[in-house]
A and B are shown apart, each in its own frame.
Chain A
Amino acid sequence: GQNIDQPTEMTATEGAIVQINCTYQTSGFNGLFWYQQHAGEAPTFLSYNVLDGLEEKGRFSSFLSRSKGYSYLLLKELQMKDSASYLCAVLDSNYQLIWGAGTKLIIKP
Chain B
Amino acid sequence: NAGVTQTPKFQVLKTGQSMTLQCAQDMNHEYMSWYRQDPGMGLRLIHYSVGAGITDQGEVPNGYNVSRSTTEDFPLRLLSAAPSQTSVYFCASSYQDSHSGANVLTFGAGSRLTVL
Contact = CB atoms under 8 A, between A and B. Distances in A.
Interface of A: 4, 8, 31, 33, 35, 40-45, 47-48, 50, 55, 57, 87, 89, 96-102
A33 B110 CA distance: 20
A50 B40 CA distance: 26
Interface residues of B, number: 20
A42 B108 contact: yes
B43 interface: yes
A6 to B, nearest CB: 9
Nearest to B33: A97
Contacts of B100: 47-48, 50, 55
Interface in B71-116: 90, 97, 99-100, 102, 104-110
Contacts, number: 52
A45 B42 contact: no
Tell me whether chain B's interface is mostly helix, strand or loop, or mixed: loop
A43 B107 CA distance: 7
B109 A87 contact: no
A33 to B, nearest CB: 7
B45 interface: yes
Given A41-B110, A42-B110, A101 B105 contact: no
Contact of A44 (B40, B59, B97, B107): B107
